[in-house]
């Protein structure tokens, strides 16, 4: 078995087709090398080895790798003309993680590996550059110490101890930039860094390059299981089995002086999608400096540089002297970079995110990958590429990540409200959107408020979870390619980065902007599209959808075969549903219409009644209101099918459970509190979700079903009289035996016939059922005899199929996921393996009786892309989901059909 794949010098053992085995970074390094793009030579240890590592442990895997790694190192040495561990001509290495899909910054990287007191002398002898050699050494100790040895801040309010030492050196010397420290300073810093490591670890800092190498390789494997990587995988549903590859590569040095540097670039704008090559770099720096916000990065292109200066309030004079673009500073290198980016984008047919380093004017590529982007950019890039014929329609659709579309539908700041808002500061528009919230300074406190804004000097990979929880992110340092910016764009989270006017004190938990002082909990607002930071809260308004969005949606409709409906109960929801492209309502939960004012009072009156006569009296009063509510929905959905579900929840949900509200209710209903308390007691059930609910209500209280059937049909007939065509579909919930359906259906039909007679008119309608009890799946052929349609209620089906109470699962599901018993929450992503079988059985059995039986799904899963793919595969007619997920469903349905 081969565990190590070489690349470099215009050849490689791998290619971009081998992402599963080599990880995305390794596969693309191999591909670039094959394309003749300059890539420092190196090798990739496979992702399979990571799985072996997790099973067999460190020692076993190191011995399995020993021979191959030694050989591969020898190849790198030959290609570079250097020797690993040599005191005269040392070969330095980078050790980099890289899984199948990019997980930016989640796992570990160690640069400048191989540095020790011997090799620093060798480096000086070879380059004659003292400062460079010691800078490289101190970088190595800092990174190896932090990443491999785990040396870091003791508490979250403390600064990173390495940074603290650097700060102290700069202060003592009275300089601002790390580039202003000289060789002597850096030499002393190395010994301070080592001392720090030895104090924190209680062991000597390892000097032997081979020890360093194995420790780093195994640290990268270990980092696959670190908490932030685990969290990222859960968030993006990345399986643990995939593992990470390890890339070991010869170092090239961006820190060799004024003609060296490092940078990050995008072939198109990752925020807006515009076809503009852009990026950031730093002179005399290694790559980590650009993303970590240590210095303000400079723009690669002249155009970008000018735009940046305007945003940052830097004069043209200052820009040219202090922050010149790469295009101005090293025009030849810029040209080479520009040519390479074009080659790579055309080769991969997608927007690329590039990492490069310049060593004394010579240009090297270190990474390329499909760039993370906002939803707006995702849509625009695909449409632009389609327009010029770079990709075809199917490719354009497959380039979309359905769940991301939700970003586009979310509100933006109201333009009137913005005019009166006070701008506190301006940063870079790192990730678009509007966010209003209360300030928190630490990621693990983001949950403190329902709407929080995470305010940081800069963010780091540990902050991932908090960034996800916060409504928006504001950083004082860092550019468009900083950690905060890249991660926020990936999450679709509003972010303003590098707002340099902001001062943050973590210890006192205070942010100051000029004379304004803000404490934790104060409200601010961010506009990630303009980079503006505002005082207080700002009103929102609905998002406007772009023409490119329409283009993609129309394409989706062209390819999908699955219908898409909405779950909705109000006129406004219906309007949204139609705006987003729903072809009907798949679930109108009538109980949602009963929770307010007069309606609730009548329902309560019915519940409090002791006999049928009393219940009928209350229901009679509810009838005209219910009819009107239904009319609104049916009217909004003119010409489209509307599935109306009869009352489903247990009745106790309509009665308050706390004394305060019970007193209020007693007053309103003109009864004693005791009566109410007694009723509550009466309705109490041990397992309400398995109790007196669904069709069981209609069977025990037929008058409820009768009233609802009448309201639906009267509403439809009244609309018909107005010339409005409707297609009501009456849905009986929670059927477990065909007899239940038969009885309820008879009842509904009898009432409908009566209404037809009264009105002297009639209308077409359907009567169907929800399939949400396992028994109904297994007897679906019988149920189909009575049903015009099936709609899978996968929330209950999951609940009953797993035997997990939906309302109590929060206590154990996270642990189940952590322990790997479940991969994801089955209430969010349909369990195709188990619950999916129930659905398939029901579909096959149902259609064995009636091949044309209409089948849909209306649980939460109807808006989840992987579940939608399943629904398409087993031949459902439609999915139904919340209005805001309709575009996601249309796209996911199209992808399933391609
Ligand atoms: P991540 O996956 O977090 O981006 P990388 O493995 O890409 O981590 O490494 C981070 C940065 O380290 C790179 O962008 C690059 O600037 C620098 N780097 C990695 N390998 C080398 C190398 N061989 N020579 C010089 N710099 C390197
Ligand atoms: Mg990288
Ligand atoms: Mg249900």
pLDDT tens-digit readout, 379-413 = 999 999 999 999 999 999 999 999 888 888 877 88
Q: Do 847 and 732 share a domain, yes or no?
A: yes
- In 199-314 the beta strands, taken as DSSP E runs, fall at 244-250, 261-266, 278-283, 298-299
Instruction: Count the domains in the chain.
Output: 5
pLDDT in tens, 674-725: 999 999 899 999 998 899 999 999 999 999 999 999 999 999 999 999 999 9
Count, residues in the chain: 898
Q: Do 723 and 830 share a domain, yes or no?
A: yes
Q: Which residue has the tokens 């959905």?
A: 637
Residue 514, number of CB atoms within 10 A of its CB: 10
The pLDDT of residue 487 = 82
Nearest residue (by CA) to ligand 1, atom 3, is 105
How many whole angstroms separate alpha carbon 824 and alpha carbon 157? 34
Phi, psi of 7 (to 5 degrees): -150, 160
Residue 602, number of CB atoms within 10 A of its CB: 20
Quickly state the pLDDT bin for 814 (edges 50, 70, 90). confident
Nearest residue (by CA) to ligand 1, atom 8, is 109
Average pLDDT taken over every residue of the chain: 93
Kindly state if the Cβ of 282 falls inside 6 Å of ligand 1: no
Nearest residue (by CA) to ligand 1, atom 23, is 251
Kindly state if the Cβ of 114 falls inside 6 Å of ligand 1: no
**Is residue 803's pLDDT more than 80?**
yes
Choose the final residue of a domain: 143, 178, 207.
207
Pocket test for ligand 1, best of 84, 224, 264, 357 (most atoms within 8 A of CB): 357
Atom of ligand 1 nearest to the CA of 367: 7
pTM for this entry:
0.87
Quickly state the pLDDT bin for 107 (edges 50, 70, 90). confident
Kindly state if the Cβ of 96 falls inside 6 Å of ligand 1: yes
The pLDDT of residue 295 = 80
| Position 177 in a domain | yes
Binding residues, by number, are: 589, 645, 772, 793-796
Kindly state if the Cβ of 460 falls inside 6 Å of ligand 1: no
Kindly state if the Cβ of 359 falls inside 6 Å of ligand 1: no
Instruction: Give the distance (Å) from ligand 1 centre to CA of residue 497.
Output: 22
How many whole angstroms separate alpha carbon 696 and alpha carbon 686? 16
Binding residues for Mg(2+), by number, are: 772, 796
Considering only CA atoms, which of 586, 585, 582, 644 is closest in space to residue 885? 582
Quickly state the pLDDT bin for 296 (edges 50, 70, 90). confident
Nearest residue (by CA) to ligand 1, atom 6, is 96
Q: What is the CATH number of the domain that holds 352?
A: 3.30.470.20
**Is residue 596's pLDDT more than 90?**
no
How many whole angstroms separate alpha carbon 156 and alpha carbon 5? 40
Q: What is the CATH number of the domain that holds 221?
A: 3.30.1490.20
Atom of ligand 1 nearest to the CA of 107: 3
| Position 879 in a domain | yes
Pocket test for ligand 1, best of 355, 356, 461 (most atoms within 8 A of CB): 355
Instruction: Give the distance (Å) from ligand 1 centre to CA of residue 253.
Output: 11
| Position 400 in a domain | no
How many whole angstroms separate alpha carbon 566 and alpha carbon 582? 6
ipTM exceeding 0.90, yes/no: yes
**CB 440 within 8 Å of CB 454:** yes
Choose the final residue of a domain: 176, 207, 238.
207
Considering only CA atoms, which of 722, 724, 731, 723 is closest in space to residue 765? 731
Pocket test for ligand 1, best of 27, 43, 109 (most atoms within 8 A of CB): 109
- Mean pLDDT on 630-648: 97
Kindly state if the Cβ of 112 falls inside 6 Å of ligand 1: no
- Mean pLDDT on 822-839: 93
Catalytic residue set:
483, 858
Q: Distance from CA of residue 343 to its chain's centroid?
A: 30
Q: What tokens were used for 80?
A: 């570079």
**Is residue 178's pLDDT more than 90?**
no
How many whole angstroms separate alpha carbon 745 and alpha carbon 763? 17
**Is residue 808's pLDDT more than 90?**
no
The pLDDT of residue 823 = 85
- Mean pLDDT on 851-864: 92
Quickly state the pLDDT bin for 547 (edges 50, 70, 90). very high
Atom of ligand 1 nearest to the CA of 286: 16
pLDDT in tens, 319-341: 999 999 999 999 999 999 999 99
Kindly state if the Cβ of 251 falls inside 6 Å of ligand 1: yes
Pocket test for ligand 1, best of 284, 366, 487 (most atoms within 8 A of CB): 366
Kindly state if the Cβ of 216 falls inside 6 Å of ligand 1: no
Q: 3-state secondary structure string, 603-663? A: HHHHHHCCCHHHHHHHHHHHHHHHHHHHHHHHHHCCCCEEEEECCCCCHHHHCCCCHHHHH
Considering only CA atoms, which of 517, 516, 538, 514 is closest in space to residue 528? 538
Instruction: Give the distance (Å) from ligand 3 centre to CA of residue 773.
Output: 9
Q: Do 473 and 614 share a domain, yes or no?
A: no
Q: Nearest ligand, CA of residue 251? A: 1
Angle ∠(751,753,754) on CA atoms, nearest 5: 65
Distances (CA, A) of 681 to 636, 674, 687, 700: 40, 10, 14, 19
Pocket test for ligand 1, best of 29, 73, 111 (most atoms within 8 A of CB): 111
- Mean pLDDT on 274-299: 89
| Position 663 in a domain | no
The pLDDT of residue 462 = 77
Q: Distance from CA of residue 496 to its chain's centroid?
A: 18
Q: Do 87 and 143 share a domain, yes or no?
A: no
**Is residue 177's pLDDT more than 90?**
no
Q: What tokens were used for 317?
A: 């004079």
Instruction: Give the distance (Å) from ligand 3 centre to CA of residue 734.
Output: 6
How many whole angstroms separate alpha carbon 324 and alpha carbon 800? 64
Share of the chain above pLDDT 70, in %: 100
Q: Do 157 and 74 share a domain, yes or no?
A: no
Kindly state if the Cβ of 734 falls inside 6 Å of ligand 1: no
The residues near 817 (Cβ < 8 Å, ≥ 6 apart) are 234, 823, 824, 825
Q: Do 24 and 152 share a domain, yes or no?
A: no
Choose the final residue of a domain: 137, 172, 207.
207
DSSP letters, 189-213, are HHHHHHHHHHHHHSSPPP--HHHHH
Q: Do 695 and 619 share a domain, yes or no?
A: yes
Angle ∠(849,853,858) on CA atoms, nearest 5: 130
More confident position, 838 or 819: 838
- Mean pLDDT on 582-609: 91
Kindly state if the Cβ of 357 falls inside 6 Å of ligand 1: yes
Atom of ligand 1 nearest to the CA of 262: 16
The pLDDT of residue 10 = 93
pLDDT in tens, 767-802: 999 999 999 999 999 999 999 999 999 999 999 999
Kindly state if the Cβ of 51 falls inside 6 Å of ligand 1: no
Q: Do 299 and 358 share a domain, yes or no?
A: yes
**Is residue 42's pLDDT more than 90?**
yes
How many whole angstroms separate alpha carbon 732 and alpha carbon 776? 13
Q: Nearest ligand, CA of residue 776? A: 3
Q: What is the CATH number of the domain that holds 201?
A: 1.20.80.30
Atom of ligand 1 nearest to the CA of 247: 6
**Is residue 485's pLDDT more than 90?**
no
Instruction: Give the distance (Å) from ligand 2 centre to CA of residue 478.
Output: 16
Kindly state if the Cβ of 244 falls inside 6 Å of ligand 1: no
Q: Do 178 and 107 share a domain, yes or no?
A: no
Q: Do 339 and 417 share a domain, yes or no?
A: no
Atom of ligand 1 nearest to the CA of 106: 3
Q: Which of 294-298, 454-458, 587-591, 755-759 has the least mean pLDDT?
A: 294-298
Q: Distance from CA of residue 428 to its chain's centroid?
A: 22
| Position 397 in a domain | no
Coil/strand/helix, residue 44: strand
Instruction: Give the distance (Å) from ligand 3 centre to CA of residue 792.
Output: 9
| Position 229 in a domain | yes
More confident position, 885 or 35: 35
**Is residue 271's pLDDT more than 80?**
yes
| Position 670 in a domain | no
Q: What tokens were used for 891?
A: 């796209």
Instruction: Give the distance (Å) from ligand 2 centre to CA of residue 355.
Output: 6
The pLDDT of residue 716 = 98
Distances (CA, A) of 320 to 262, 315, 323: 19, 9, 6
pLDDT in tens, 650-659: 998 898 888 8
Q: Which residue has the tokens 């720096």?
A: 285
The pLDDT of residue 511 = 95
- Mean pLDDT on 230-236: 85
- In 233-351 the beta strands, taken as DSSP E runs, fall at 244-250, 261-266, 278-283, 298-299
**Is residue 351's pLDDT more than 90?**
yes
Q: Which domain holds residue 344?
A: 261-373
Distances (CA, A) of 643 to 188, 529, 567, 698, 736: 75, 40, 9, 17, 20
How many whole angstroms separate alpha carbon 898 and alpha carbon 89? 55
Atom of ligand 1 nearest to the CA of 40: 23
Kindly state if the Cβ of 432 falls inside 6 Å of ligand 1: no
Coil/strand/helix, residue 10: coil
The pLDDT of residue 219 = 95
DSSP letters, 334-355, are HHHHHHHHHHHHHHHTS-EEEE
Phi, psi of 300 (to 5 degrees): -75, -50
Query: How many alpha carbons fall within 13 Å on the CB side of residue 351?
Result: 32
Quickly state the pLDDT bin for 522 (edges 50, 70, 90). very high
Quickly state the pLDDT bin for 102 (edges 50, 70, 90). confident
Instruction: Give the distance (Å) from ligand 1 centre to CA of residue 47.
Output: 18
Q: Do 448 and 500 share a domain, yes or no?
A: yes
Nearest residue (by CA) to ligand 1, atom 15, is 287
Instruction: Give the distance (Å) from ligand 3 centre to CA of residue 733.
Output: 7
How many whole angstroms separate alpha carbon 69 and alpha carbon 142? 25
**CB 252 within 8 Å of CB 367:** no
| Position 632 in a domain | yes
Nearest residue (by CA) to ligand 1, atom 17, is 287
Instruction: Give the distance (Å) from ligand 3 centre to CA of residue 657.
Output: 23
**Is residue 766's pLDDT more than 90?**
yes
Binding residues for substrate, by number, are: 589, 645, 772, 793-796
Kindly state if the Cβ of 249 falls inside 6 Å of ligand 1: yes
Kindly state if the Cβ of 288 falls inside 6 Å of ligand 1: yes
Instruction: Give the distance (Å) from ligand 3 centre to CA of residue 233.
Output: 30
Q: Do 472 and 505 share a domain, yes or no?
A: yes
């Amino acid at each position: 078995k081969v565990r190590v794949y070489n690349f470099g010098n215009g050849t490689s053992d791998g290619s971009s087709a081998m992402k599963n085995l080599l990880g995305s970074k390794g596969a693309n390094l191999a591909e670039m090398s094959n394309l003749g793009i300059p890539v420092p030579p190196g090798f990739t240890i496979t992702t399979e080895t990571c799985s072996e590592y997790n099973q067999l442990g460190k020692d076993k895997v190191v011995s399995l790798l020993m021979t191959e790694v030694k050989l591969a190192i020898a190849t790198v040495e030959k290609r570079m003309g250097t020797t690993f561990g040599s005191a005269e001509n040392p070969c330095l290495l980078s050790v980099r993680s890289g899984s199948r899909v990019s997980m930016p910054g989640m796992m570990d990287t160690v640069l400048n590996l191989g540095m020790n007191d011997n090799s620093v002398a060798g480096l000086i002898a070879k380059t004659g550059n003292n400062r460079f050699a010691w800078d490289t050494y101190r970088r190595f100790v800092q990174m190896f110490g932090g990443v491999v040895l785990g040396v870091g801040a003791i508490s979250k309010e403390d600064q990173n101890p390495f940074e603290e030492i650097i700060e102290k050196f700069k202060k003592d010397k009275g300089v601002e930039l790390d580039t202003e420290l000289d060789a002597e300073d850096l030499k002393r810093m190395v010994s301070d860094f080592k001392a720090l490591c030895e104090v924190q670890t209680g062991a000597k800092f390892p000097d032997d390059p081979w020890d360093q190498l194995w420790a780093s390789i195994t640290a990268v494997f270990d980092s696959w299981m670190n908490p932030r990587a685990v969290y990222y995988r859960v968030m993006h549903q990345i399986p643990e089995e995939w593992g990470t590859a390890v890339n070991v590569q010869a170092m090239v040095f961006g820190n060799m002086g004024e003609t060296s540097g490092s940078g990050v670039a995008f072939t198109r704008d990752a925020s807006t999608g515009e076809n503009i090559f852009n990026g950031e770099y730093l002179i005399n720096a290694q790559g980590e400096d650009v993303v970590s916000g240590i210095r303000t990065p400079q723009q690669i292109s002249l155009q970008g540089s000018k735009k940046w200066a305007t945003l940052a309030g830097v004069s043209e004079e200052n820009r040219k002297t202090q922050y010149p673009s790469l295009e101005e500073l090293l025009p030849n290198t810029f040209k080479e970079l520009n040519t390479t980016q074009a080659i790579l984008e055309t080769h991969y047919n997608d927007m690329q995110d590039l990492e490069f380093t310049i060593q004394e004017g010579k240009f090297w590529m270190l990474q390329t990958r499909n760039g993370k982007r906002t939803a707006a950019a995702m849509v625009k890039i695909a449409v632009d590429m389609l327009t010029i014929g770079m990709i075809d329609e199917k490719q354009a659709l497959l380039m979309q990540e359905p769940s991301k579309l939700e970003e586009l539908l979310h509100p933006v700041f109201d333009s009137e409200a913005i005019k009166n808002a006070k701008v506190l500061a301006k940063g870079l528009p790192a990730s678009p959107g509007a966010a209003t919230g209360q300030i928190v300074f630490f990621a693990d406190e983001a949950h403190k408020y329902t709407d929080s804004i995470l305010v940081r000097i800069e963010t780091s990979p540990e902050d991932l979870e908090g960034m996800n929880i916060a409504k928006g992110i504001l950083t004082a340092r860092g550019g468009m390619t900083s950690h905060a910016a890249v991660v926020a764009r990936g999450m679709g989270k509003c972010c303003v980065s590098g707002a340099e006017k902001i001062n943050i004190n973590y210890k006192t938990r205070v942010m100051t902007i000029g004379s304004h002082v803000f404490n934790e909990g104060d409200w601010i607002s961010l506009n990630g599209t303009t980079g503006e930071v505002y005082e207080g809260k700002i009103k929102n308004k609905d998002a406007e959808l772009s023409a490119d969005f329409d283009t993609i949606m129309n394409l989706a409709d062209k390819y999908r075969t699955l219908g898409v409906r909405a779950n909705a109960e109000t006129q406004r929801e219906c309007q949204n549903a139609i705006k987003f492209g729903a072809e009907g309502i798949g679930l109108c939960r009538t109980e949602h219409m009963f929770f307010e004012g007069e309606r609730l009072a009548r329902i309560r009156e019915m519940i409090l009644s002791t006999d049928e006569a009393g219940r009928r009296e209350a229901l009679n009063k509810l009838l005209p209101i219910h009819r009107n509510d239904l009319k609104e929905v049916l009217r909004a959905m003119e010409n489209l099918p509307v599935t109306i579900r009869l009352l489903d929840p247990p009745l106790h949900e309509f009665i308050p459970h706390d004394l305060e509200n019970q007193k209020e209710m007693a007053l309103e209903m003109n009864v004693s509190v005791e009566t109410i308390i007694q009723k509550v007691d009466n309705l109490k059930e041990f397992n309400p979700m398995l109790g007196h609910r669904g069709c069981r209500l209609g069977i025990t209280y037929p008058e409820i079903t009768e009233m609802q059937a009448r309201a639906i049909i009267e509403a439809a007939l009244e609309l018909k009289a107005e010339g409005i065509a409707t297609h009501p579909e009456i849905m009986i919930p929670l059927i477990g035996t065909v007899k239940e359906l038969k009885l309820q259906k008879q009842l509904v039909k009898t009432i409908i016939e009566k209404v037809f007679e009264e009105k002297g008119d009639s209308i077409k309608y359907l009567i169907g059922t929800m399939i949400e009890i396992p028994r109904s799946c297994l007897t679906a052929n019988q149920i189909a005899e009575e049903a015009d349609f099936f709609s899978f209620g996968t929330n209950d089906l999951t609940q009953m199929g797993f035997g997990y109470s939906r309302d109590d699962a929060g206590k154990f599901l996270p642990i189940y996921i952590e322990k790997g018993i479940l991969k994801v929450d089955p209430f969010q992503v349909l369990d195709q393996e188990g619950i999916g079988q129930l659905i398939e059985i029901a579909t096959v059995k149902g259609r064995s009786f009636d091949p044309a039986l209409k089948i849909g799904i209306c649980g939460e899963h109807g808006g989840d892309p992987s579940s939608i793919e399943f629904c398409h595969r087993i031949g459902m007619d439609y999915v139904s989901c919340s209005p805001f997920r309709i575009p996601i469903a249309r796209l996911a349905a199209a992808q399933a059909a391609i």
